[in-house]
Each structure stands twice: as structure tokens, then as C-alpha cells.
Amino acid sequence: MNQDLIAFLKTALECSVYVSPRDPGLMRDELFEIGRRAGYLDGEIGDALHHVTIAYFGESRFLPPPDETASWVFLFPETPEYRNFRAFDFIYNELNKLTRSEGTNRAQIERGVLVERAVGTGIARNDIEVAITWLLMSKQLTSKDNALRFPHQMVVQSLPSQQLATHGSRIIRKPHRERAYPIVKDVVARRADGRPKHAEPLDAFAEELEKLGYKPFRLWWAQIVAELRQTNPSSTPVAACVLAAALVEGALTFVVKHARAKGHFQSKDYEREPRSWRIDDLVASAAGGGPSAILDNATRARADALIRTRQRIHGTPTRWAVLRGGSFL
């Protein structure tokens, strides 16, 4: 088992708390996306997930596992650091004051009130939310009806910054955190900012097939992409060329209808059945249209070179057969 990958995915779940403290955790497909962008493959990611966290019934997202959050009680100076310990101290100070003035039974504060008080002192909203969620997940705080309190009617507590100070100048480096944080931040942002949820174009295009009217071909696309990723161009160049050319031809065929509506692919050849279309014509049409062309000159040159190589492999110019019920391969 790839222990490095397991540790990385656990750290990705931790980073979801820093990025989205009011809604932490990651979906299964988000964890796969994060793993791929870190250079891992789907098979090893799937195997590792069984050792990363627990999938609770009814929960849509994976959360940091209990054995991880239990260790969050112990605070150490770390780098990179996405926790603001001024925010941690603020929470403890507020609850400590309430414990002294109201007694342990009544020492509690509504989360929204605590957040606004912290923001009023200059603490960033996300920082105080991160601190609250971190303390809740590590069971250093409890919440009932959105009211926060120390667990088990605890008395006045020492501040987190005081715990940090006991470790002196030793700083623990967290390379997985440094690597995972920007990926997790981007993946979470894609939930709501209108961008495709996948950053890699081949994966993002699969998400668009239904919008283009080709939902039944999503499995075909996913299979060809998976085969291409598992192919080593150095050891099996012919397979890599054929698979890559299939994706080029498939992608351009899928976008013809949409492109024609946008003013591209205006040749009357595209009014005929797709079985009559030629890949070199598709590439030429995609490169037409000036500044709004689908393919720029450099991309067209690469596509043309790929198609010429494939045609030499097959001996004669090929036509894409998938849309008429056949299979290119």
C-alpha cells in the first residue's frame, strides 16, 4: 500500500477544513481529482481511500478520520501554517471569561456571535471559522443548537498559544500540506464559481458531453482517456498515437453542432452524416475563424502531425466510426 498517497489524501481532508470550515470534507470524485492532480493514478487512489477515512452512511463527503482529529488536540509550530492561533486564543478567552462570570454550566456562546466578535477585533472571518471547526472536530469544543462550549463543564483553560510556546523554536515541516492545500482550494472553489469541476481538459470535456447532446458517449470517452493515460508513449508509441488521434477526432466531431451554432464549421460537408466527415477537414475547420478559432496555429500543427502519423499506421485515411455505431479501435 502506498503510504505516501494515504498520508497525502488524509492531509487533503485536513486542508478542506482550512478552505471551507463551515462545510468541510471532500466528495469521492473530488479526492480522485486531487489525487490525479498530484500525479497519482485512479487505481492506487481507489485502493488508498479504504485506508484514508470512513465513509459514514448518509454522508455525502469524506471527513478527516477520528484518529487524525484526535491528534489535533496537540498543537505544534508547523509550516506551512494555515491556522491563525490568534483566532484560537480568542475563542478560549471568550469562553474563559464566560466560565468565570457565568459558571461552567452556563458558559456558552452562539457561534455566529463569536464569529462577529472576532471579526470586530480584526481576525479574518475564515480564520475564526477554521479555529471553531478545528476545535469542534478535535472535541475541544462541543456544539448544541449552534451554541459552543467547553466539553464536560471544563474550567478555565490555558491558551493554545501558550501550548505552542512550550515547544520552543522547533518547527515541524508539513510537505503534504504544502502540496495539497492549493489543489484542495481550487477543487473546492470549482463547486460554485462556474468552472468545470475538473482542471484537466480531458476530464473536463467528459462533463460537457451531455450538454453537447452526446451523453451515451461519455463511457467511450472515459475509456479511451484511461487507456491513453496508462500507455507509455516511449514503449508503445503506436498505441499512444492511435488513442490520442481518436480523442482528437472524437472531440472535434462532438463539438461540430455546437460550433456551427457559434459560426464555425460552416462548410456544407457538415450537413451530411458524420460518417462522411474526414479528420483532416475537422482539424482545418476547427482552425478557421481567426481569433475565435477552436485551434490556434500551434495546436493545429500538432493535430496535423498526429493525424498524418496515424494515417501512415493505418495505410489509408481513416474516418471516425463511433457516431454510426461502430468503434474507432
HEC profile for 84-144?
CHHHHHHHHHHHHHHHHHHCCCCCCEEHHHHHHHHHHCCCCHHHHHHHHHHHHHCCCCEEE
Please give the pLDDT value at position 315: 54
d(CA 107, CA 104): 5
C-alpha grid cell, residue 207:
462533463
Backbone angles phi, psi at 84, to 5 degrees: -105, 105
Is residue 194 in a domain? no
* Residue where a domain stops, chosen among 189, 222, 246: 189
pLDDT at residue 320 greater than cutoff 80:
no
Closest C-alpha to 307, from 242, 254, 256, 223: 242
Does residue 163 lie within any of the structural domains? yes
Say yes or no: 60 and 97 in one domain. no
Please check whether residues 318 and 217 belong to one and the same domain: yes
Cα–Cα distance for residue pair 115/125, rounded to 1 Å = 7
* 3-class DSSP state of 191: coil
Whether 142 and 63 share a structural domain: no
- Do 61 and 185 reside in the same domain of the chain? yes
pLDDT at 187 over 90: yes
DSSP bridge pairs for 78: 172
Mean pLDDT for the stretch of residues 173-178: 96
Asked if 206 and 294 sit in the same domain, the reply is yes
From the list 157, 143, 69, the residue with the least C-alpha distance to 111 is: 143
Domain count of the fold of the chain: 3
pLDDT digits (tens, 9 = 90+) for 155-171: 667 899 998 888 888 89
Tell whether 217 and 252 lie within a shared domain: yes
Residues 303, 214 within the same domain:
yes
Q: What is the pLDDT of residues 226-240, one digit of tens each?
A: 888 888 888 888 888
What average pLDDT is seen over the chain? 87
Same domain, 13 and 131: no
Bridging pattern class, strands 172-173 and 78-79: parallel
User: Which amino acid does the sequence have at 183?
Assistant: I
Q: Is pLDDT of 311 > 70?
A: yes
CATH number of the CATH domain containing 105: 1.10.10
Q: Closest by alpha carbon to 259, among 217, 214, 211, 294?
A: 294
- Show the cell assigned to 303: 493535430
The answer to whether residues 181 and 298 belong to one domain is no
Smallest CA-to-CA distance from 251 within 289, 217, 301, 216 is with 217
pLDDT in tens, 188-212: 999 888 887 777 888 888 888 888 8
Domain that holds residue 184: 3-73+174-189
Distance CA 115, CA 235 (A): 58
Structural contact between residues 89 and 99, judged by C-beta atoms closer than 8 angstroms = no
Looking at the structure, do residues 136 and 150 belong to the same domain, yes or no?
yes
Residue 95 carries which side chain, given as an amino acid letter? Answer: L
Same domain, 242 and 259: yes
Verify that 182 and 237 share a domain, yes or no: no
CA neighbor of 199 nearest in space, from 33, 12, 6, 21: 33
* 15, part of any domain: yes
Q: Could you report the per-residue pLDDT of 262-303, keeping only the tens digit for each?
A: 878 877 778 888 888 888 888 888 888 777 788 888 988 988
Q: List the grid coordinates of 219.
A: 463511457
